Amino acid sequence: MANTLARYAAWKRRGDFIFLSGVVAVDIPSRKVIRGFDDLPPGIGPAIGQTGEFSTDATDGPILAQTWFVFDQIRANMKDAGGAMKDVFKLVQYFRHLSDFPRYKSVRDMFFPEEPPVSTVVEVSGMMPSPEIVIEVEATAYLPLGGG
């Protein structure tokens, strides 16, 4: 539940709700910012839009790779909380550039194939811990204590 990137909890339960802190694309154990497809596990890049063309991948890679990493972390936090992605009903999405939204959405939809959560989208001037961060997502989930 702890987040070693900074001193705060990755998530907290309050009654039937799980509140997740904003997630950015930093591999916490290595303290490495996810910059593009090469920073993801093998096979993920092509599944989320990697083309093999340097100019396209250099432009699209940061938002696509960071989006996948962020949602994979949200999925891991939800599992840690005893839930799943289907329990997430609200997202707040912070973008460095709103023009990244269509590419972001294509990856987000892979994590929510049935029904997307309600959303708030905001453009910001910067995010911690690095200017290379292009997306941050916080999530709220409904997960009844009784399991139903």
- Residue 129's CATH number: 3.30.1330.40
Please state the domain count of the chain.
Answer: 1
Distances (CA, A) of 51 to 44, 48, 54, 59, 96: 12, 9, 8, 11, 23
Q: What is the pLDDT of residues 25-54, one digit of tens each?
A: 999 888 899 999 999 999 999 999 999 999
Per-residue pLDDT at 83 exceeds 90: yes
* Residue 147 placed within a domain: no
Please give the mean pLDDT across all residues of the chain: 93
* Residue 43 placed within a domain: yes
pTM of the model: 0.92
Per-residue pLDDT at 4 exceeds 60: no
Note the pLDDT of residue 100.
97
